[in-house]
A and B are shown apart, each in its own frame.
Chain A
Amino acid sequence: MTGSELPVGEDDLSALVDGRLTPERAATVEAYLAARPEEAARIQADRAIRAALRERLAPKAGEPVPARLRAAAVIAERRRIRRGRLRQALAACLVLLAGGTGGWFARDLSERFWGIPARPAPLPQEALAAHRIYTVEVVHPVEVKADQGAHLAQWLSKRLGRRLAIPDLEGVGFRLIGGRLLPAGRSDVAAQLMYGAQDGSRLTLYVRCGEAGRWDLRVTKQGEFASATWATGGYGYALSGALDPDRLMMVARAALSEMTGGG
């Protein structure tokens, strides 16, 4: 009976009202009140008020929750807003990127007149190897799924050391599935974004850091696969899939156009 040794205090009385005392302590406090009718009446009143307040407010918690306050609705709405914001930010980012090379559609000119070397790169081979490995995956095609769009972009951007744009290719029939991180070369990293079409065909956008070259959009074929690649600012990009080169080039242009804010 250690509880009975402590003198009864205001906190005991509050805890009695709230029913938070151990049975032993409650007995001690009740015994204390038995000798003090005035204080006992006060506690009785507090209990009654507490009960009345609970009763008065109970219907509010019993009401059906409005649709806008369902947790799932709040999460979905937040995701939608963030995706929109992300796209805007990435589009702005891409404008800068493309602007640095004088715009995409000037690339042939730049190659011809300014002599930007059209050097062969191992990028298509590397991107296609990654493409072949992961597009056949059914259970784990990606590490992070598209529904975590903001997280995916943040994570890959952090590991790549640059803000990675995630182009929206739904307009040309490819929906983002998600992405993963891959090793590149000896010490570099690459990101792979995977897209899927309605007919099950898949497309990957491979982004590699540590790219020494710089070149404009071109297509490399390898068997049934093709890879549209470009490189700028130390990063190499490869859009790969089992598509014919013309279609792939069309998708690549659509992607770039979409990423640069449409145009």
Chain B
Amino acid sequence: MDEIAALIEPHIPALRRYAWALLRDHEAADDLVQDCLERAVGRWRLRRRDGDLKAWLFAIQHNLFIDGLRRKRRELLRAEVEDLSGIPEPGIEQESRAAMRDILACLDALPADQRAVILLVGVEDLSYEEAARVLGVPIGTVMSRLSRGREKLRRYLESGAQPMLRRVK
């Protein structure tokens, strides 16, 4: 058991960073990491011995994130009828323009799959193969999401163009 802890522990800071970059809410991010760790400990015997532990942990966390996203989308769908009027139009508020200068705000505007690839490869230093495994997609998909995502980020930052906000709060 102590051995499991010793193996998992070094990856926790990166898992927290990835979770926070996706969710941008400290509590929610740590909840996601905790769910991930619980699942990892519970499935410890099922992991491939020769497999990459880091990629395995990120895959668990990513799947939990996607599950959560689906759940939220369903909730949002239900709430939509009454709540839509309350959501401000993008570009109306003055402060949103300043927010665009923040790289994270631009990242938030990307589709979730492009965001995930940019974070896993560009920040968490996963190889393209590992990122493909984490996301459960072919490596070609990883490469195309990466370049499409980067292209959008570039455009947002260079032109100051208003990215369409997609973040699901």
Contact = CB atoms under 8 A, between A and B. Distances in A.
Interface of A: 10-11, 13-15, 17-18, 20, 42, 45-46, 49-50, 52-54, 56-58, 60-63, 65-66, 68-72, 74-75, 77-79, 147-148
Nearest to B20: A60
Given A18-B122, A71-B37, A61 B16 contact: yes
A45 B14 CA distance: 25
Please indicate which of the listed interface residues A50, A68, A69, A148 has the most CB atoms of chain B within 10 Å of its own CB.
Answer: A69
A69 B146 contact: no
Given A10-B147, A18-B121, A70-B9, 14 more contacts: A14-B143, A20-B127, A42-B154, A45-B158, A52-B103, A53-B123, A60-B17, A65-B16, A69-B33, A69-B34, A71-B12, A71-B37, A74-B37, A75-B4
B64 interface: no
B55 interface: no
B56 interface: no
9 contacts: A49-B153, A60-B16, A61-B13, A68-B34, A69-B34, A70-B5, A74-B38, A75-B1, A78-B41
Contacts of B16: 60-61, 63, 65, 69
Interface in B95-120: 102-104, 107, 118-119
A71 B158 CA distance: 42
A147 B33 CA distance: 25
Contacts of A14: 143, 146-147, 150
A18 B142 CA distance: 13
A46 B154 contact: yes
A57 B21 contact: yes
A53 B115 CA distance: 12
A45 B119 CA distance: 17
A53 B120 CA distance: 12
Interface string B24-57: 0000001001100110011000000000000000
B148 to A, nearest CB: 10
Contact of A49 (B2, B6, B38, B150): B150
Contacts of B2: 72
Contacts of A75: 1, 4-5, 41
B122 A68 contact: no
A65 B133 CA distance: 26
A134 to B, nearest CB: 23
Given A20-B128, A52-B103, A63-B16, A46 B150 contact: yes
